[in-house]
Amino acid sequence: QKEVEQDPGPLSVPEGAIVSLNCTYSNSAFQYFMWYRQYSRKGPELLMYTYSSGNKEDGRFTAQVDKSSKYISLFIRDSQPSDSATYLCAMRKAGTALIFGKGTTLSVSS
Amino acid sequence: DTAVSQTPKYLVTQMGNDKSIKCEQNLGHDTMYWYKQDSKKFLKIMFSYNNKELIINETVPNRFSPKSPDKAHLNLHINSLELGDSAVYFCASSQGERDLPDTQYFGPGTRLTVL
């Protein structure tokens, strides 16, 4: 089993839809959970991070971590065409490298 | 004002050649990384340097040799290029462990194509 699993999609939604992106992981020692967004032909950029379990909200974006289920989610409300990108989950524990999921490609149509 | 820059942006070369990719960051970060992103968008770390010292060296063929002349630069030299080396290579930098979660800032990538 890979350390981090993420459905690559692609995921296509109409503008205004609520989008749910998810990752599962196997290493219970992971403490830091991140979502990176990568536009086509660009480098990834950090969107949100969460430490341990819980929710975090930033504008239209909400990140959730459920450590008991080893499951993390990113919700995008009122999705916009500008949200079209690949979303990569990433996680780590202190002292180790960041492990990325394979990324989910999202397309929001107007 | 570019934070993490890489050159070249595109690199097309023949099998067996040797090539280098350069990376520079102006964020004052202590730690720099090289990642490889394959055609399926899977991003995997190759190397990590902290203050010019190698701290992470994943299972990467020894044809790949990173070099850090100072903490703002991390270059990647690849010998005897193979078809399987074709990928996008990303450089990144971060403050390091003293500033968890240690957010990494990525460069624009170098798209390497080996013919």
Interchain contact, B41 vs A86, CB within 8 Å? yes
Residue B109 pLDDT grade (very low, low, confident, very high; cuts 50, 70, 90)? very high
Interchain contact, B101 vs A86, CB within 8 Å? no
Answer for the pair B16, B115: CB distance below 8 angstroms, yes or no.
no
Q: How does DSSP classify residue A34?
A: E
Interface residue B41 vs chain A (CB under 8 A): yes
Share of chain A above pLDDT 70, in %: 99
Does the pLDDT value for residue A1 go beyond 80? no
Can you give the pLDDT at residue B32?
94
Mean pLDDT of chain A: 93
Amino acid at A107: S
**Candidate from A42, A46, A100 with C-beta closest to B103:** A46
Those of residues 48-67 in B touching chain A at CB distance below 8 A are: 48, 56, 58
Can you give the pLDDT at residue A54?
86
In chain A, residues with a C-beta closer than 8 Å to the C-beta of B100 are 32, 94
Interface residue A48 vs chain B (CB under 8 A): no
Does the pLDDT value for residue B2 go beyond 80? no
Helix (H) or strand (E) holding B64: strand B64-70
Can you give the pLDDT at residue B99?
64
Strands B53-57 and B43-50: antiparallel
Does the pLDDT value for residue B73 go beyond 80? yes
Interchain contact, A102 vs B100, CB within 8 Å? no
Tens-place pLDDT, residues A12-37: 999 999 999 999 999 999 999 999 99
Mean pLDDT of chain B: 91
- Shortest distance, CA B23 to any CA of chain A (angstroms): 13
**How far is the CA of B92 from the CAs of A25, A45, A71, B111, in angstroms?**
24, 10, 26, 15
Can you give the pLDDT at residue B28?
92
Tens-place pLDDT, residues B13-58: 999 999 999 999 999 999 999 999 998 888 999 999 988 888 888 8
What SS3 state is found at B97? helix
Residue B1 pLDDT grade (very low, low, confident, very high; cuts 50, 70, 90)? low
Can you give the pLDDT at residue B96?
77
